[in-house]
């Protein structure tokens, strides 16, 4: 028997009973050793976290994701097995039932972006959902561009969208455009006119809005609502032929101006726009509204499950009405909830504002929530797919902690990133008894991956360590370098600080140390044990580079919900540049797309602006979540 605890894991009742027994046994013990007390604390904390998690799931709090990670961590640390079987989300249940009943033999979904901006992390969730469904069930997914607004669409956006979808690991069956169907949509409009279900309206947008009514009051008929079929056909044809200026006429569906759903009060189907289209050029000067293009394009492609976000729930009635009146393939619309992420914005209008007003360097600025920005920052497609899987699919909008996204990329980068040593704030160390000119030492590339091999690192009598790895008057239990104290240099030797050198102003400029020749890593016969290990680089061999330390774009959780201009809440520390850091020589061969862990510093990736003699690295994420600690 299992108990479902949300979108990430299931915990067996048997495991919970066993765990409860461990807790009782643990509490009955005195816990004499530190290890016993630590185990007891973990067990008790696990039970508290588990029952708190169940309460969170019941109440629908956004804390669900953090709690599920806590349970996973504790189970791993206690070696308690957890079933990774996941229950089906509501869309998967619908599809499974349709296939079981024979409603469909296979399914067709589509991802329908507007080519008016770059895709962001919210789109990634929709991409993973639509393409994921047709990976799980028989069928395929189309990529269809909703290019019905020529004034905002560009080929640049089309190309970037295709690149992003492929980078995430998905491939579409057919590449389609709403503009492929402009001829068919135009004929559909004439069919509605012929049935007396559409009319040409000469009213201005302001007049149409005034006659619309309110949610509690019915609207009023347009004075042009009862035009004859012949007149409407003639006017709509002339609209298409370019005889009228922009905004002078629209084609509206003739439904019910007193309908409880205001979207059904004679919605606009076509408007006049004398604008150059990125694919059809100047062939058309009438363009369908999204609500008219959406369902009919789905029907033409025989999409079985048209998946939208929850704001389209009121549109479904019009979606169904149009398909029914046109008597075409009955595609059906389903809705799922958006997953908004804190400390950023995902409105294309707001993102475009940040780009145009130079608050960021472009759509792929590593601080942006765009997929191209995340890619440039060093996020992996695997980590984004993992994130989308963890947040799940639901019917209620929720705010997701960006810390979960950062957790996912840390988890993946820890497995794949090559380890390298880089010193950000150098303090020179002279090893006074090192008599060799230099030697090559071996160091593993990734302790999490045996297949990653090892590399050679040059070692010499002068090295750099981090300035904050030395303290002249250290407190108790300080395990880094201090006068008279020993530390191990990563993959090298144990050294001891003998002397501190200062300049005329009293600033520390150099440390004089000795090393233990018998303490070489992998061949240590010294018998000396030290608790501190420092990263370092050889001063003679070090390369120089620039490092860009990226952080969250905004300093508040929901900038769109704050008073005033959302840009007032930008994080002034979202980018800090370290102009000169010192790298081990292996990074001379760094390549775009390769991920690195700068030991004890974080995860980094080479930036596309790098050159052979001007290396630039972007920080993807720190080794730990430091935002909470600094009260972000």
Radius of gyration (Cα) for the chain, nearest Å? 31
Our answer to whether residue 338 is catalytic in this structure is yes
Tokens of 394: 């639901």
Tokens of 570: 């930008």
Compute the C-alpha angle 90/123/308, nearest 5°. Answer: 45
Catalytic hit among 110, 144, 252, 338: 338
HEC-encoded secondary structure of 594-623: CEEEECCCEEEEECCCCECCEEEEEEEECC
Distance (Å, whole) CA 461 – CA 439: 10
Distance (Å, whole) CA 105 – CA 82: 34
| CB of 335 closer than 8 Å to CB of 392 | no
Classify residue 262 by its DSSP letter.
G
299: nearest Cα among 333, 252, 335: 333
**CB neighbours of 622 closer than 8 A, spacing ≥ 6?**
601, 602, 603
b/e per residue 511-544 (b: at least 16 CB within 10 A) = bebbbbeebbbeeeeeeeebeebbbbbbbebbbe
Rounded (10°) CA dihedral 188, 192, 198, 199 = 80
Distance (Å, whole) CA 94 – CA 334: 10
Our answer to whether residue 233 is catalytic in this structure is no
| CB of 201 closer than 8 Å to CB of 250 | yes
Per the document, the length of the chain is 632
Distance (Å, whole) CA 449 – CA 443: 13
Q: Where are the beta strands (DSSP E) in 347-411?
A: 398-400
Distance (Å, whole) CA 128 – CA 133: 8
Torsion sign over Cα 285, 290, 296, 299: positive
Catalytic hit among 144, 249, 265, 348: 348
| CB of 119 closer than 8 Å to CB of 363 | no
Backbone angles phi, psi at 548, to 5 degrees: -110, 115
373: nearest Cα among 345, 400, 397: 345
**CB neighbours of 117 closer than 8 A, spacing ≥ 6?**
157, 348, 351, 352, 363
Distance (Å, whole) CA 45 – CA 39: 10
Distance (Å, whole) CA 485 – CA 508: 17
Catalytic hit among 66, 92, 114, 173: 114
Our answer to whether residue 456 is catalytic in this structure is no
Tokens of 525: 């016969």
Residues acting as catalytic residues:
114, 338, 348
């Amino acid at each position: 028997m299992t108990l479902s605890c949300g979108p990430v894991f299931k915990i067996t009742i048997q495991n919970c009973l066993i765990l409860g027994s461990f807790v009782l046994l643990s509490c009955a013990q005195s816990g004499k050793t530190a290890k016993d007390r630590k185990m007891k604390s973990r067990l008790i904390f696990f039970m508290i976290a588990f029952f708190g998690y169940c309460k969170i799931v019941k109440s629908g709090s956004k804390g669900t994701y953090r709690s599920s990670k806590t349970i996973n961590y504790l189970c791993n640390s206690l070696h308690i097995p957890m079933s990774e079987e996941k229950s089906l989300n509501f869309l998967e249940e619908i599809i499974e039932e349709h296939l079981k009943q024979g409603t469909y033999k296979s399914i067709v979904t589509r991802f329908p972006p507007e080519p008016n901006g770059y895709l962001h992390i919210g789109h990634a969730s929709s991409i993973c959902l639509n393409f994921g469904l047709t990976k799980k069930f028989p069928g395929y997914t189309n990529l269809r561009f909703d290019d019905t607004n020529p004034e905002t669409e560009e080929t640049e956006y089309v190309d970037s969208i295709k690149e992003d979808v492929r980078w995430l690991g998905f491939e579409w069956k057919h590449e389609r455009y709403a503009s492929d169907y402009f001829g068919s949509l135009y004929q559909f409009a004439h069919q509605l006119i012929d049935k007396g279900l559409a009319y040409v309206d000469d009213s201005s947008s302001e007049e149409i809005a005034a006659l619309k009514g309110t949610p509690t009051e019915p609207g009023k008929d347009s004075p042009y609502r009862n035009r004859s079929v012949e007149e409407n056909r003639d006017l709509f044809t002339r609209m298409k032929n370019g005889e009228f200026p922009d905004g002078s006429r629209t084609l509206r569906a003739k439904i019910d101006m007193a309908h409880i759903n205001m979207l059904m009060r004679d919605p606009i189907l076509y408007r006049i726009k004398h604008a150059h289209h990125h694919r059809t050029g100047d062939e058309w000067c009438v363009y369908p509204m999204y609500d008219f293009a959406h369902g009919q394009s789905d029907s033409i492609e025989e999409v079985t499950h048209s998946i939208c976000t929850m704001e389209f729930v009121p549109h479904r009635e019009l979606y169904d009405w149009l398909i029914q009146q046109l008597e075409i393939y009955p595609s059906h619309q389903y809705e799922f909830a958006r997953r908004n992420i804190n400390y950023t914005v995902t409105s294309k209008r707001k993102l475009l504002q940040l780009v145009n007003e130079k608050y960021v360097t472009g759509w792929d600025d590593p601080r942006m929530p765009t997929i191209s920005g995340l890619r440039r920052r060093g996020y992996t497609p695997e980590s984004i797919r993992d994130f989308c899987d963890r947040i799940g699919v639901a019917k209620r909008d929720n705010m997701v902690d960006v810390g979960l996204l950062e957790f996912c990329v840390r988890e993946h980068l820890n497995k794949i990133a090559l380890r390298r040593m880089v010193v950000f704030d150098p303090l020179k160390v002279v090893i006074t008894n090192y008599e060799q000119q230099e030697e090559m030492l071996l160091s593993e590339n990734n302790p999490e991956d045996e297949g990653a091999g090892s590399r050679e690192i040059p070692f010499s009598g002068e090295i750099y360590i981090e300035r904050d790895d030395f303290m002249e008057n250290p407190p108790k239990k300080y395990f880094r370098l201090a006068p008279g104290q020993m530390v191990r240099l990563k993959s090298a030797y144990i050294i001891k600080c003998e002397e501190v050198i200062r300049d005329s102003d009293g600033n520390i400029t150099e440390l004089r140390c000795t090393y233990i020749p018998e303490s070489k890593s992998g061949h240590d016969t010294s018998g000396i044990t030290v608790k501190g290990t420092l990263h370092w680089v050889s001063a003679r061999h070090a390369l120089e580079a620039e490092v860009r330390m990226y952080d969250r774009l905004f300093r508040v959780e929901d900038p769109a919900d704050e008073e005033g201009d959302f840009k007032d809440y930008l994080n002034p520390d979202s980018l800090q540049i370290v102009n000169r850091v010192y790298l081990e020589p292996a990074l001379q061969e760094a390549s775009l797309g390769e991920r690195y862990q700068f030991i004890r510093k974080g995860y980094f990736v080479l930036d596309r602006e790098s050159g052979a003699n001007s290396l630039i690295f972007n920080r993807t994420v720190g080794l730990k979540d430091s935002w909470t600690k600094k009260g972000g």
